[in-house]
Amino acid sequence: MTQLTADIVICGAGIAGIAAAYHLTVHQGVPHVLLVDERPPLTLTSDKSTEAYRNWWPGPDAAMRQLMNRGIDLLETLAQGSDNRFLLNRRGYVYATADP
């Protein structure tokens, strides 16, 4: 068995695990981050996504909108820094109903 050492071990190589590893290494300067998963990275990540996102959330306060705005800012920063390798695109939303 190979013996590995790491500063931080992340269990799970899905979207959240890979995002955490990225931010720890790139933005926090952690030199040795190890992802542990029994499957290849992103194996169980949904391929059914519409890749749509929004920053409009009705509710009692602005908490969800603020959270989404921060997330969108992070995505746009990553897109700019990677020459948009993951093809971020503001597609928009259309709401339709059968009831007038």
Residue 53 pLDDT > 80, yes or no? no
Q: State which of 48, 67, 85 marks the end of a domain.
A: 48
Q: Are residues 20 and 43 in the same domain?
A: yes
Alpha helices in the chain (DSSP H): 15-22, 63-81
Where residue 26 falls (left for φ over 0; alpha for ψ -120 to 50; beta otherwise) is alpha
Residues 6+ apart with CB under 8 A from 81: none
pLDDT at 37: 94
Q: Are residues 67 and 40 in the same domain?
A: no
Structural domain count of the chain: 2
* 8-11/33-36 β-pairing: parallel
Range of the domain at 2: 1-48
Q: Are residues 61 and 35 in the same domain?
A: no
Please give the residue that has the higher pLDDT: either 54 or 10.
10
Q: Are residues 54 and 97 in the same domain?
A: yes
Residue with tokens 């007038």: 100
Q: Are residues 40 and 55 in the same domain?
A: no
Q: pLDDT of 9-24, one tens digit each?
A: 999 998 889 889 999 9
Q: Are residues 67 and 29 in the same domain?
A: no
